[in-house]
Chain A
């Protein structure tokens, strides 16, 4: 079975600082990995995904994540935080093949301080 652990339910950074949101997964098969962002009173928006191939994945709004199989991690980064990045971020994992649904982490709330 797949599972996701997001370290830190709340992360606070200064505007212009590096954003690092941590995600570790557990999967018995090669996983598909996703990061989603949720703004207040909205649904989830896909930021980026890893399926196969290049382990460094670039997404929207300047975010990127690196799949590290040896560390079972898929951390999300952005070089310079912007006020508009304040939101909740969810990491998710799936088997990739088959019909099993995505498994989501508990989420990390990112605050950006001016």
Chain B
């Protein structure tokens, strides 16, 4: 069974631009969670989607948004990029509930210049 895939793996953007990251969960998994990982803050929860609905949301500004499609694939979008948005963005999938074991993708390394 294929694992969680994320595209692109690396991305360089300029401050003020917007970016869209994509995540394909493990087949059969319906819950998709997104995390931001930085050296200073560690792993921070962004949001979780289930059946195309945002079910949980972390403490991030409205510039961070996401969505989930009917095939469970998910995208996250960051508008008006700031230098502080430079991070590794990780997607994780689980069968039904995010409180159960999650399987992580390799991440998208975003650099904002």
Given known pairs A100-B56, A101-B48, the reply for A94 and B99 (CB within 8 Å) is: yes
Digit string of B74-113 for contact with A (CB within 8 Å is 1, else 0)? 0000000000000000101000011111111111010000
Given known pairs A44-B90, A90-B43, A107-B42, the reply for A99 and B101 (CB within 8 Å) is: no
- Establish whether residues B56 and A44, one from each chain, have CB atoms under 8 Å apart when the complex forms: no
A-chain residues with CB within 8 Å of residue B43 when the two chains form the complex: 90, 104, 107
If over half of B's interface residues share one DSSP class (helix, strand or loop), that class is named, otherwise mixed; here it is: strand
Summed over the interface, the residue pairs from A and B with CB atoms below 8 Å come to a total of 63
- Establish whether residues A99 and B105, one from each chain, have CB atoms under 8 Å apart when the complex forms: no
Closest 9 CB pairs of A and B: A43-B104, A94-B99, A101-B98, A44-B104, A104-B43, A106-B42, A43-B106, A43-B105, A43-B107
Taking beta carbons and an 8 Å cutoff, which residues of B are in contact with A? 4, 6, 33, 42-43, 45, 48, 50, 55-56, 90, 92, 97-107, 109
